[in-house]
């Protein structure tokens, strides 16, 4: 009994968790002539959040039961704005974009069983108490738009 409680105590506590995001956006405008302007914009985003699937301050999940979170977004917008006449304008737009979102499980903690898929610890619930192992909603591979 004491060993079991010490094990549960060992997989609770402070969970290292960060959330880092980097964005950059270069843009070029080119006045081709008096009636046409071409614009190219690229937007880049990287979000990496170890243990960041669960964002609550406090959680009844073990230290390896939060899940890692990530997002990669890239988009390229090309636009040609044209003044055709004093009463008519046109804007031609082209876009290439992707939005990759993924969530992966964390490796098992010492003492946890490793007999689930990929050597992970199986999801285990202590009813009305605590849960540990690989969360039931992971792995979430990339969902790409």
Partner 1 sequence: MRCSTPGAVPDGTFGLISFRGISGLLNNNTIDGGDNNQAFFAEERGRTRISYSISQSAIREFQVNTSSYSAEYGRSAGGVVNAITKSGTNEFHGDAFYFQRNNKWGARNPRSFVTQNVGGVFTPVAFKPEDVRHQFGGTIGGPIVHDKAFFFFSYDEQRRNFPGVSTFTALDFLNRADTCALTAAAGAAITLATCPAYPGTAGRQPHGIH
Which tokens go with 58? 């406090």
Residues 37-76 that bind partner 1 (CB under 8 A): 39, 41, 43, 45, 47, 49, 51-52, 54-63, 65-66, 69, 71, 73, 75
Distances (CA, A) of 100 to 72, 125, 145: 5, 30, 7
Pick 114 or 125: Cβ nearer partner 1: 125
Characterize 91-129 residue by residue with b for buried, 16 or more Cβ atoms within 10 angstroms of its Cβ, and e for exposed: eeeeeeeeeebbbbbbebbeebeeebeeebbebeeeeee
How many residues contact partner 1, by CB under 8 A? Answer: 64
Site for partner 1 in 125-144 (CB under 8 A): 128-130, 143
- Beta 88-104 vs 68-85: how paired, if at all? antiparallel
Residues 107-126 as x/- pattern, contact with partner 1 by CB under 8 A = --------------------
Rounded to whole angstroms, the Cα distance separating 24 from 137 reads: 31
What residue ranges bind partner 1 (CB under 8 A)? 1-2, 5-6, 8-9, 11-31, 39, 41, 43, 45, 47, 49, 51-52, 54-63, 65-66, 69, 71, 73, 75, 77, 79, 91, 93, 95, 97, 99, 101, 128-130, 143, 145
């Amino acid at each position: 009994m004491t060993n079991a409680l010490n094990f549960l105590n060992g997989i609770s506590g402070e969970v290292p968790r960060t959330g880092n995001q980097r964005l950059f956006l270069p843009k070029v405008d080119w006045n081709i002539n008096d009636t046409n302007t071409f614009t190219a914009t690229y937007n880049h985003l990287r979000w990496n959040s170890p243990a960041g699937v669960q964002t609550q301050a406090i959680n009844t999940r073990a230290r390896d039961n939060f899940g890692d979170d990530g997002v990669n977004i890239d988009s390229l917008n090309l636009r040609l704005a044209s003044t055709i006449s004093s009463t008519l304008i046109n804007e031609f737009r082209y876009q290439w974009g992707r939005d990759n979102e993924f969530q992966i499980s964390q490796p098992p903690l010492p003492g946890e069983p490793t007999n689930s898929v990929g050597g992970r610890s199986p999801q285990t619930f202590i009813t009305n108490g605590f849960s540990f192992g690989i969360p039931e909603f992971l792995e979430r591979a990339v969902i790409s738009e």
